[in-house]
Amino acid sequence: MKTTVETALGAVATADLGPTLMHEHVVTRSPGVQENWPHLWDREAIVALAERKMADLYARGIRAIVDLTTVDLGRDIDLIAAVARRSRVHIIVATGVWWMPQRYFSAHGVDAVADLFVRDINQGIGATGIKAAIIKCATDTAGVTPVIENVLRASARAQKATGVPISTHTWAAGRSGEAQQAIFTQEGVDLGRVIIGHSGDSEDLGYLRGLMERGSTIGMDRFGLENFLPTAKRVEVLARLCAEGYAGKMVLSHDANCWTDMLSEDDKRRTRPLWHYNHISDDILPALCKAGVSEAQIQQMLVDNPRAIFEARQPATD
């Protein structure tokens, strides 16, 4: 079994990960835009903002985040590394593709795309030597289009080749985690190595139980995004599933970011005031306690489950 996990600053013992937010972003942006209109982009200010937000997280006891930013969300590994060097919070980085893939990913076959993901995991991203420790893929309202199917199958094959987990984006209202699980199963992936993300957007308990009964962990990972599901509902669903014995199959996060080209910091505060890195620590954990979730269950979701997900590796050679 593997007892270290790769981060932006190298391998870390999984025992040292501590409380981990499993689906966040440092920066998301539209690839190519800032390169062509650099006046939109103040890199130093963004790094300084990220440094402050990571310090706030650390002060609240969070010790690691998983940055699920892909190429089509503008993954910038040098920027992530710069933030990591100024932070005491570990940053685990991802390979993969989100639901707005560039045409490259439909013009090339499943195995060619899988090879890119495997390269990020085994050799490192670009020339940095920083290794991805998780594979991101996504299905949104359009469902499994040909290019999305390509990416899902490539993710599955890269998972089997490397043993690192898969973490997905879904459109929970369309139960899209089910189609993802079906494709991963066809490809021979152990669903225990898969996190079905954005499941916390759903209050369909039958759907959520099914995802977990088939072996996957579900991401209760958009706390603060009230437009998808209000906080009170998110807490109620999570508490109910904990009471039913599912705390070993859930992880927590916000899907928030330090900076995005979609919304200014002012717009974020105005339109999504609860959507920030500190919402779980400040508001959700106390609300869960009130709703009957135990300290041990919180420890499971924040510490033990993330650790186990990064420790389990399939390839016998590892």
Q: Which residues lie below 8 Å from residue 303, measured CB to CB, with a gap of 6+? A: 17, 18, 19, 20
Q: Which long-range contacts (CB under 8 A, 24 or more apart) does 294-300 make?
A: 294/242, 297/242, 297/247, 300/247, 300/248
- Considering the complex, state which of residue 160 and residue 276 has its C-beta at the smaller distance from Zn ion: 276
- Considering the complex, state which of residue 134 and residue 293 has its C-beta at the smaller distance from Zn ion: 134
114: left (phi over 0), alpha (psi -120 to 50) or beta: alpha
At residue 164, φ and ψ (nearest 5 deg) are -75, 155
The tokens of 197 are what?
A: 């993300």
Q: What is the per-residue binding string for Zn ion in 280-299, x denoting contact by CB under 5 A?
A: --------------------
Q: What is the per-residue binding string for Zn ion in 175-194, x denoting contact by CB under 5 A?
A: --------------------
CB of 27 to Zn ion, least distance (A): 12
- Considering the complex, state which of residue 195 and residue 284 has its C-beta at the smaller distance from Zn ion: 195
CB of 19 to Zn ion, least distance (A): 19
- For residue 142, the SS3 value is coil
- Considering the complex, state which of residue 65 and residue 82 has its C-beta at the smaller distance from Zn ion: 65
- Considering the complex, state which of residue 6 and residue 255 has its C-beta at the smaller distance from Zn ion: 255
Exposure on the CB side of residue 219, measured as CA atoms within 13 A: 29
CB of 168 to Zn ion, least distance (A): 10
- Considering the complex, state which of residue 76 and residue 255 has its C-beta at the smaller distance from Zn ion: 255
CB of 69 to Zn ion, least distance (A): 8
CB of 107 to Zn ion, least distance (A): 25
**Are 8 and 91 within 8 A, CB to CB?**
yes
Q: How many residues does the chain have?
A: 318
CB of 68 to Zn ion, least distance (A): 5
Task: Give how many residues touch Zn ion by CB under 5 A.
Answer: 1
CB of 23 to Zn ion, least distance (A): 5
CA separation for the pair 84, 90 (Å, rounded) = 7
Q: What is the DSSP string of 200-234?
A: GG---HHHHHHHHHTT-EEEE--TT-TTTS-HHHH
Q: Name the strand (E) or helix (H) holding 259.
A: strand 259-260
Of 212-271, which residues contact Zn ion (CB under 5 A)? 255
Residue nearest to Zn ion (CB): 255
The answer to the question of residue 67 lying near Zn ion (CB under 5 A) is no
Instruction: Kindly list the residues in this chain that would bind Zn ion in the complex (CB under 5 A).
Output: 255
